[in-house]
Chains A and B, each alone.
Chain A
Amino acid sequence: MVFVKVFTLNYRFNLLGVISAFLLFYTALSDNPWWTVYGGMGDERTFSVEVSPFNISVEVLGKPVIVPILFYLTMAARLSILLAAATTLLGSLLIKKPWSKPLISLRGFLLPVLFLAGLFILLNLARLYANVSLPLIGRSTIEYTINYGGLRIDTETAVETALTQEYWIALTAGVLSALAKAAHGRIAGD
C-alpha cells in the first residue's frame, strides 16, 4: 500500500502511468530503430537493416529496398501506440474516475515483448530456410554463394546486430505501464 501511495502521490494521480505515457509518446514519435543489422566492414556497408515497429529501413549495396505495405503497417503501429499513450495518460490523471483503469493500456508492454519474439522467430526462419545465421545481438559472418550468369561467386560479409537504446526505452515504458495498471487496481480496491 505504501508503494501505491507513493506512486500515486497520495492518490492524486498515477505517476507510473504518467511516466509510461510520456515514454510511450517518445517511443511512438521516434524514428530511431529498435534493432539493427549492419553488414560490411569499416565505413562500407554491404547492407543495413534498421527495424522498429514504427519504421523499417533496408539498404542493400547502398540502395534502398522498399516494401510499400511496411509504411502503412508501421503507421498503424504508430497510431495504435499513440492512442495507448494518450489513454494511459488520461487514465493516470483521472485516477478517481471509475472508468480510468481500462484506459491504462498494456499495448506498450506487449509491443516490445512481441517485437522480440517476432525477431527470434524470423531469425530462426532465416537460419532454417535461407541458411543465413544471424545472432539477435552480436557479431557473425555470413557466407553466401551467388550463381550469376553460370558463374559461382562466393561472398563473405561480417555482420553486427544490436538491440538499441530505443528498444530498452520502449520496454521500460511497457513495464511501467504494466506496473501502473497493477497500481491502479490497488487504488480501485481502496
Chain B
Amino acid sequence: MLLLSAFAVLVPIVYGLAVYGWNIHAMVMPLYSPPKIDFRLEPSGLRFDRGQLRAEFKLTNLGEVKVVLEGLNAEVYGPDGKALAPASLDKAVVSLPGSTQTLTLKIEVNEAALSRIASYFMGGRDRVNIEVKGEAILRVFGSRVIAPISSSFEVSLTDFLKQQVG
C-alpha cells in the first residue's frame, strides 16, 4: 500500500522532471506575459469658455487593456515653471484598446493667471508652452490606479486675444 502511494506521488513528479530535462529551475519559474499597456497623448485643440481654458487631447490606446480615466488632480505651469491654475478632467474617458478618444482638461483661469499668461506674451513670444503635471485616477481591470501624468500644450497669442476680446 505504502509503495503504491509513493508511486502515485512520485511518478508524476519524475515524469514532469523528465519532460523538462531535469531542469528544476525551468519547472518552478512562473511563466507570464503581461498585457501591453501603452498610450499616446497629443494636444488637439484649445478654447476659452467662460473663464475656463479647455485643452483637448487625443488619447490613443496602443495597448491591450481597457482603461477608464476617471479623474485628474493636476496643475498647469507656465514656461517659467510657476503654477498658473488647477486642472481637472471634464468627464470620464473610456479608452478601449486600439481606439482614440478626446480628453478634455478644464483649467480654471482667474485674473491672476490671465495676467501671468499675458506677461509671457509681453516678453515677445507669440506662443506659450503650458505644462500639465499631476495625478490621473484610472480604473484598470477593476482596480483603482493613481499614476503621475505629464503633458504640455501651446497657447498662441491669437487664442489669448480671442479670449480677451470675447
Contacts and interface: CB of A to CB of B under 8 A. Distances in A.
Contacts of A110: none
Contact of B30 (A67, A71, A80): A67
Interface string A54-71: 000000111111111101
Nearest to A38: B142
Given A61-B65, A65-B30, A69-B28, A151 B8 contact: no
B142 A76 contact: no
Interface stretch (B11-19, B41-49, B114-122, B123-131): B11-19
Given A40-B143, A46-B143, A76-B12, A67 B31 contact: yes
B142 A157 contact: yes
Contacts of A68: 16, 20, 26-29, 31
A185 interface: no
Contact of A155 (B9, B15, B31, B144): B144
| Dominant secondary structure of chain B at its interface with chain A | mixed
A79 B32 contact: no
Given A66-B32, A79-B8, A83-B8, A40 B1 contact: no
Nearest to B142: A40
Contacts of B13: 72-73, 76
A80 B16 contact: no
Contact of A72 (B16, B65, B140, B148): B16
Contacts of A73: 12-13
Given A72-B12, A79-B9, A158 B30 contact: no
Nearest to A81: B8
A46 B142 contact: yes
A69 B27 CA distance: 5
Contacts of A102: 1
Given A66-B30, A66-B32, A68-B31, A152 B148 contact: yes
Nearest to A156: B144
A87 B148 CA distance: 61
A103 interface: yes
A107 B8 CA distance: 13
Interface size class, chain B: 20 to 34
B140 A46 contact: yes
Contacts of A67: 28-31
Interface size class, chain A: 35 or more
B142 A154 contact: no
Interface in A138-158: 151-158
A60 B65 CA distance: 12
Contact of B12 (A44, A75, A158): A75
B145 interface: yes
B34 A154 contact: no
Q: Quick one: which of A39, A61, A64 has the most chain B CB within 10 A?
A: A61
A60 B33 CA distance: 10
B28 A155 contact: no
24 contacts: A40-B142, A40-B143, A41-B139, A41-B143, A44-B139, A46-B142, A61-B35, A61-B141, A62-B35, A68-B26, A72-B27, A73-B13, A75-B12, A76-B8, A76-B10, A79-B12, A83-B8, A87-B1, A153-B146, A153-B148, A155-B143, A155-B145, A156-B146, A158-B142
Interface of B: 1, 4-5, 8-13, 15-16, 20, 26-35, 65, 139-148
